[in-house]
Amino acid sequence: MPSLLASGIEPPALVVVTGANGFIAQHCVAVLLREGYRVIGTVRNQAKAAAVKKTHKGHTGLEVVVIEDITNAQSYLDVLGHLSPAAVLHLAAPFHYKATDFEREMMIPAVQGSTAILEAAAQIKSIRRVVQTNSFASIYDASAGLSPEKTYSARDWSPLTYEDGVKADNAPAAYRASKAAAEKAAWKFMEDRAVGFDLVSLCPGMVFGPFLPEAKPATIAGVNTSNQLVWASLSAGRDAPVPPTRGPVWVDVRDVAEAHVKALQVVEAGGSRFLLANGVYCNQELCDVSRRVLPKYGDRIPVGEPGKRDSHTHFGVSTTETERVLGVQWRSLEESLKDVVPQLFEIERGEA
């Protein structure tokens, strides 16, 4: 599906960011404001609107609006219709492993949320591009097993369906299905409908990295799901076992945010999907790197089996096309952990 844009979406265009209080979205908003875009963030309630304004205080180009129901196109039209935005970054979707009613809590908000924003964009004639935050989960085929010979790229598709999500055995499987079904629904919408905008799909691996200073959660329980995985690996204690790695592909949040903004600017990106990943990792690597660069926390970070790596036991990833089209470069694990791990320990200290 080719791009519809004659030129990229450049500052000072007005960009809608859904779920603006989220971990990745806070960085997207920061990059957009820094580059001179005007931003409308959407959140679920007034308290979250106030928090987003505080996170980006001092920036005049930011408005935050409340959209309670992300599955209802009309709710977007009512609030955004008259503001003439040029583009949307759609990040709002559940990412947690706490759901018990998978259809209500995961599948409906992810899948109907994905098509509702497209339906609204179809009716807001100023919108020229929608960038959706999908996932490596919509690329990865868990049924193929560890497949050490396989290199996943944005050309691969998860076979998971809506029904797989509803009937999933566990919450992580339901989450993976929610991302796969949401992305498939978005591309189907684009095929079925003649619209005046194009779609870019970004598929990040596990996203690690720091919070903006004003958006640091008050409690460890309030930390987003992917950084919870870092915390679980690095806080168990020196002699504790290193927990098994879940989703062994990672990327730094700041690179993800920059990729979102590039996805607005690069004409050629329209109609394509991109894998966002530095590469594969395992929890032993998180521990080894953190023990080396953050010796101060050595009594909390498991020693495990230093140097042991899982990467040869499973698939790899290729992001050549992402680098070529979006021009993104990937921060190192050292940089990512150096910036987030002290924040996580500070959050824990604040709880004491």
CB environment 241-260: b (16+ within 10 A), e (fewer):
ebbebebbbbbbbbbbbbbb
Q: Which residues, in sequence order, are bridge partners of residue 133?
A: 202
* In the complex, least distance from residue 317 CB atom to ligand NDP, rounded to whole angstroms: 13
Instruction: Please enumerate in sequence order all residues whose Cβ is within 8 A of that of 305, keeping only pairs 6 or more positions apart, or say none.
Output: 242, 284
* In the complex, least distance from residue 305 CB atom to ligand NDP, rounded to whole angstroms: 26
* In the complex, least distance from residue 77 CB atom to ligand NDP, rounded to whole angstroms: 17
From 310, 328, 195, select the one nearest 257 (Cα to Cα). 328
| Nearer residue to ligand NDP within complex by CB, 72 or 126 | 72
* In the complex, least distance from residue 307 CB atom to ligand NDP, rounded to whole angstroms: 26
Instruction: Please enumerate in sequence order all residues whose Cβ is within 8 A of that of 139, keeping only pairs 6 or more positions apart, or say none.
Output: 152, 153, 154, 156, 157, 158, 203, 275
| Nearer residue to ligand NDP within complex by CB, 204 or 270 | 204
Which positions lie near ligand NDP, rule CB under 6 A? 19, 21-25, 44, 48, 70, 91-95, 109, 133, 135, 179, 204, 206-207, 224, 226
Check the CA dihedral 143-146-147-153 and report its sign: positive
| Nearer residue to ligand NDP within complex by CB, 224 or 235 | 224
* In the complex, least distance from residue 70 CB atom to ligand NDP, rounded to whole angstroms: 4
| Nearer residue to ligand NDP within complex by CB, 283 or 291 | 283
| Nearer residue to ligand NDP within complex by CB, 126 or 318 | 318
Tokens standing for 130? 């929608």
* Residue whose CB is nearest to ligand NDP in the complex, by number: 22
Instruction: Please enumerate in sequence order all residues whose Cβ is within 8 A of that of 52, keeping only pairs 6 or more positions apart, or say none.
Output: 20, 21, 26, 29, 41, 43, 62, 64
Instruction: Please enumerate in sequence order all residues whose Cβ is within 8 A of that of 169, keeping only pairs 6 or more positions apart, or say none.
Output: none
Query: What residue spans of 10-67 are helical by DSSP H?
Result: 23-35, 46-55
| Nearer residue to ligand NDP within complex by CB, 92 or 195 | 92
Name the 3-class secondary structure at 273: strand
Between β-strands 38-43 and 14-18, what pairing exists: parallel, antiparallel or unpaired?
Answer: parallel
Amino acid 135 reads S
| Nearer residue to ligand NDP within complex by CB, 5 or 33 | 33
| Nearer residue to ligand NDP within complex by CB, 117 or 294 | 117
